[in-house]
A and B are shown apart, each in its own frame.
Chain A
Amino acid sequence: MPDFDADRKFKQDVLRMAGPEVQTCIQCGTCSASCPTAHLMNPSIRKLIKYCLEGRKEEALKNDTIWLCTSCLLCTVRCPRGIRPKSVVAALKDIAEREGIKSKDAAYEQIFQKQIREYGRISELPLTGEFLLVFPQAAVQSMQMGLEMAPRGKISLEIEKIKPAGREEVKRIIEELGGE
């Protein structure tokens, strides 16, 4: 049996985070036609929005589509209804993260956000290092880039941190504004 209450709540959550205008979607497909990774997406971004509006939570969350979004915002600029499809993607990522749905892509975002929460800034080397523990398949690419960057003095071994008071403030921003 589908969980109707959960599905209704899912739709409401998406609308709250991505904006009520999502309901005005006319399924024209301008978003999908504008997307640089559309050819790899299944479902397409257009269909993903339809799933959200129909409360089809499982189908909306369990796919690679949201993780193929490059945040290029072309869909958002072009939508004739003023919907921000990228914000729908962001809402779905947020829901997926809260529900603990695991994937390499979700892990990358979590490591990225953890660095901001702890240090206030991103340090690329530790970010890459931690991601490799989750997804060792990225090692070849990372090594290649490391060899490219290191001799040019573009790899910092330091962990970048802002001041303690700033770190407290950043933590507060993430915890208090993200807890809703």
Chain B
Amino acid sequence: MKLAYYPGCVSLSTGKEMDLSTRAVSAALGIELEELEDWNCCGATHVSNELVATGLCARNMAQTDLPIMTSCSICYSNLRTAAKQMEDPDVKARVNAVLTKKYSGANIRHALDVILEVLEKNQDLLVVPLKELKVAPYYGCLLTRPRGVDSPEFPTILEKLIKNLQAEPIDFRLKTFCCGGPIFMPQQKAAEDIAFKILSEAKKAGAEVIVTVCPLCHFMLDAKQKALEQKRGEKIGIPVLYVTQLVGIALGLGPEELGLNMNSVSPMPMMEKVYERIIE
């Protein structure tokens, strides 16, 4: 399988482990990735003018004829929304008038969806079954909204993947609750309140690890976890892995290949448990 890969801006800094693990897992699963030529920012959640947002995404999508894969749910949602907007002939004409390479259509896929598809056909690649590992499936918003791989109200694709790795998805009430990430800079308190609620709920539900599909969710739950614990006086201590990192562990890839040393809350104690359970 050959796909175009759209890493997104975060992959170059605070989401490096997302990019590393995406590339490593793709290679291990025989998915060939061709990085999108000279890609630009998708606009994230900060470009208010919808036509501009569509134009920025259309420029990316016009760079290839291959299906485009991304690991970032924000990029994913924006590209899909733009593709939908470009179905309107008037929008398409206006956008194409300013593009160098013209847009003619696109197939956008999230890494989660691609990985699950390949994994289901290649169960023999799972060399480290994540037996009994209690995983909180955290979808956040933009994987499924406004339209995506699964239901925006009751998605189950993450649970399906988690079970495929022989781990146990926990019943996680806040799995589609927003992490607050997009407003964390100017509206710090509002964002932190939301993120802490999610972490606290995951702890109550008995999660050993939280799995995310978006770098902003990851930032809010992992990078901010220690600061939030200090502020609220409540210990959380739950590692937060990108879905590609969790899959990578099950494929037997090494911590460095998956950027596990880049996570704020170390997943190493959890890894030890995983290995102990296999030996038992």
Question: In whole angstroms, how far apart are the Cα atoms of A149 and B9 in the complex?
Answer: 16
With a cutoff of 8 Å between Cβ atoms, the chain A residues found around residue B97 in the complex are 176
Asked if A145 meets B223 with Cβ closer than 8 Å, knowing A108-B186, A165-B100, the reply is yes
Overall SS of chain A's interface: helix
Asked if A70 meets B182 with Cβ closer than 8 Å, knowing A141-B188, A163-B38, the reply is yes
A61 contacts partner chain B, Cβ-Cβ < 8 Å: no
CB pair A105 B186 closer than 8 Å: yes
A178 contacts partner chain B, Cβ-Cβ < 8 Å: yes
Residue-wise, chain B 44-55 has the 8 Å CB interface mask toward A (1 for contact) of 111111111011
Segment from B12-20, B112-120, B127-135, B244-252 that makes contact with A: B12-20
With a cutoff of 8 Å between Cβ atoms, the chain A residues found around residue B77 in the complex are 73
Q: Which residues of A (85-137) have their CB < 8 Å from a CB of B? A: 87, 90-91, 93-94, 97, 104-105, 107-109, 112-113, 115-116, 120-125, 128, 131, 135
Residue-wise, chain A 60-90 has the 8 Å CB interface mask toward B (1 for contact) of 0000000111111110110000001001001
Shortest Cβ distance from A94 into chain B, in angstroms? 4
B145 contacts partner chain A, Cβ-Cβ < 8 Å: yes
Shortest Cβ distance from A28 into chain B, in angstroms? 17
Shortest Cβ distance from A54 into chain B, in angstroms? 22
Residue in B52, B55, B184 whose Cβ sees the most chain A Cβ within 10 Å: B52
Minimum CB distance partner of A166 in chain B: B38
Asked if A121 meets B9 with Cβ closer than 8 Å, knowing A71-B45, A177-B52, the reply is yes
With a cutoff of 8 Å between Cβ atoms, the chain B residues found around residue A176 in the complex are 97-98
With a cutoff of 8 Å between Cβ atoms, the chain A residues found around residue B98 in the complex are 169, 172-173, 176-177
B175 contacts partner chain A, Cβ-Cβ < 8 Å: no
CB pair A148 B44 closer than 8 Å: no
Given contact pairs A109-B48, A122-B41, A154-B13, enumerate 14 new A-B contacts (beta carbons under 8 Å).
A37-B187, A73-B141, A73-B142, A93-B48, A109-B46, A112-B46, A116-B56, A121-B9, A141-B184, A145-B223, A162-B39, A166-B40, A176-B98, A177-B52
B interface vs A, CB < 8 Å?
Answer: 9-10, 12-17, 38-41, 43-52, 54-56, 59, 77, 94-95, 97-100, 141-142, 145-146, 152-153, 176-178, 180-188, 190-191, 194, 223-224, 226-227, 261-264
A interface vs B, CB < 8 Å?
Answer: 17, 36-37, 40, 67-74, 76-77, 84, 87, 90-91, 93-94, 97, 104-105, 107-109, 112-113, 115-116, 120-125, 128, 131, 135, 138, 141, 144-145, 148-149, 152-156, 160, 162-163, 165-166, 169-170, 172-174, 176-178, 180
